[in-house]
Amino acid sequence: MRDFYPEIEPFDTGHLDVGDGQQIYWEVSGRPGGKPVVFVHGGPGGGTSPEQRRFFDPARYRIVLFDQRGCGRSRPHIADGADLSVNTTQHLIADMERLREHLQIERWQVFGGSWGSTLGLAYAQTHPDRVTELVLRGIFLLRRSEIDWYYNGGAAHIYPDLWESYLAPIPESERDGDLVAAYHRLLTSADRAVAQSAASAWTGWEQATSYLLPKKSPDNPGLDAGDPRFDLAFAAIENHYFVHHGFLHDGQLLADIDRIAHIPGVIVQGRYDVVCPTRSAWDLHRAWPTAALHIVDDAGHASFEPGIKHHLITATDDFANRSA
């Protein structure tokens, strides 16, 4: 089983002004003249972390990480009043292009999971001539059926105990309706305590259901204590996108698959992914059969689960070998 490459530090970092009063944080690590790859983080609103550099051989890759608008180290942060009206899928696609041009990269590999797979596909379909390969994990096509499954009760049949914590901030009178809309009202409340409580419940639901085996195990001793600033960015930005259907037409990413049919791709999917069920990865593979599909039978959603990590690193190694 392939495991992470050693820890590395970036050799270049900065904030790029992308307009609308927004500055996105970016960093580059690995080999300065290496094969370019951009890591597209999840959420939206999740931000990047140092471990995400480790999916790539630092001797062969020029590794670009960036924090999307309103989260991570980008400025302003949602907790500091970032304007969500200028935070859409189309804005993020444009930000990626500005970053590519700023770093003077002609073409790059796009690597993303969960929401990162959504944005990665949307970016590639908008700029197919700028993408060398796609490595995608935990496929999320942002169809209404996927939102309803995870946030409006489908997944409650698997996690009824954790679902009660997700429901807790919502008044009982609103629990039979659209819970995404109910959360939107809470997360945009003028009362910061109300918004923060809702953010913690929303984020906690996703963190608790992302692994096949709960993180509270001998190998994963306990969920990280909630970070209120992270929780607010993650929940508020994610909910903003879902209320607006991801700023995409339902089924758009499958309908436009012909735009990337020529791009080499690898899809990695946990069989027991509750957050982004395997149906979406299968539908993507059926529409894009030239992309290799690896279904990991002992994994859920998280990219750090051993089988998923193995296939992701194998994919990045294989693409680096082809470029050598």
How is domain 10-144+247-321 classified at the CATH fold level? Rossmann fold (3.40.50)
218 — pLDDT class (breaks 50, 70, 90) = very low
Give the global pTM: 0.96
Question: Residue 223, Cα to own-chain centre: how many angstroms?
Answer: 19
Over the stretch 34-91, which tens digit does the pLDDT of each residue have? 999 999 999 999 999 999 999 999 999 999 999 999 999 999 999 999 999 999 999 9
Q: Is 285 left (phi over 0), alpha (psi -120 to 50) or beta?
A: alpha
Select which of 273, 280, 303, 311 is catalytic. Answer: 273
Q: How far apart are alpha carbons 143 and 120 in whole angstroms?
A: 16
pLDDT digits 0-9 by tens, 227-267: 999 999 999 999 999 999 999 999 999 999 999 999 999 99
Output the average pLDDT for the chain.
Answer: 95
Instruction: Name the active-site residue from 29, 74, 114, 117.
Output: 114
219 against 24, higher pLDDT: 24
Is 114 in the active site? yes
Alpha carbon dihedral 307, 309, 314, 319, in 10-degree steps, equals 140
Q: With beta carbons less than 8 A apart as the criterion, state whether 200 and 212 touch.
A: no
Residue 214: predicted pLDDT:
76
Options 240, 294, 301, 311, the catalytic residue: 301
Q: Where are the domains of the chain?
A: 10-144+247-321, 146-245
Q: Is 280 a catalytic residue?
A: no
- Burial (Cβ within 10 Å: 0-12, 13-18, ≥19) of residue 308: buried
User: Is 227 annotated in the active site?
Assistant: no
In angstroms and rounded to an integer, the radius of gyration of the C-alpha atoms of the chain is 19
